[in-house]
Amino acid sequence: MAFLAGQACQGKPQKRFAEKIRLIKRLYHRQFSRETIINLFQFIDWTLQLPPHLAQQFRTDLETLEGEINMPYITSIERMAREEGRTEGRAEERQKLHAERQKLHAERRRELIDHLTQVLAHRFGDQVNTCREHVEQADIETLRTWINQAFSVPDLLTLFDQGHS
């Protein structure tokens, strides 16, 4: 019956939904064992798959039906719960990756600041202390530019003026 309903309902999600509910009600009102009901239910669920918005409605209607007959169903609900878990897992993974990228970015920036400070200290001695705050506020690209220019500029003022032009 599930197969025939699936064939008759192709391209008609509302009708497929109604047929799935009808078949499930019939299945639950039979005197089958719990295992038989679950196995048949899995087949019906697989045969009459619903689009997400109707699957959610089916879940709600199924919970109501199960409450009336005290027979828990697992397949469709488990599938939806797994998908929700996957979605949450992907979001958490994206957050972790974002945090790791930020950490790597901060570490790379710190390395560039340290490198520039060493070069400037070597070239200009104690004058480097006068520009430390300026260096600490620079972004990565500016730091790279300053490192490349630090070897050839005559003084710190020239370096920082070139870095902003």
pLDDT tens digits for range 30-87: 777 777 877 888 888 888 888 888 888 888 887 777 777 665 555 556 656 667 777 8
Is 62 part of a structural domain of the chain? yes
Q: Which two tokens stand for residue 146?
A: 């300053």
Is 159 part of a structural domain of the chain? yes
CA 155 to chain centre: 49
Segment 111-120 shows an average pLDDT of 93
The Cα–Cα gap between 49 and 101 comes to 40
**Structural domain of residue 157, as residue ranges?**
103-163
pLDDT for 120 equals: 92
Residues 57 and 110 placed together within one structural domain of the fold = no
pTM of the model: 0.46
Backbone φ and ψ of 154, nearest 5°: -75, -25
What does each C-alpha distance from 138 to 99, 109, 117, 147, 155 come to in angstroms?
A: 21, 9, 12, 12, 18
Domain boundary among 33, 58, 73: 73
Is 91 part of a structural domain of the chain? no
Is 79 part of a structural domain of the chain? no
User: Number of folded domains in the chain?
Assistant: 2
pLDDT for 4 equals: 80
Report the range of poorest mean pLDDT among 57-61, 91-95, 113-117.
Answer: 57-61
Q: CB-based contacts of 130: which residues, under 8 Å, 6+ apart?
A: 156
Is 137 part of a structural domain of the chain? yes
Is 126 part of a structural domain of the chain? yes
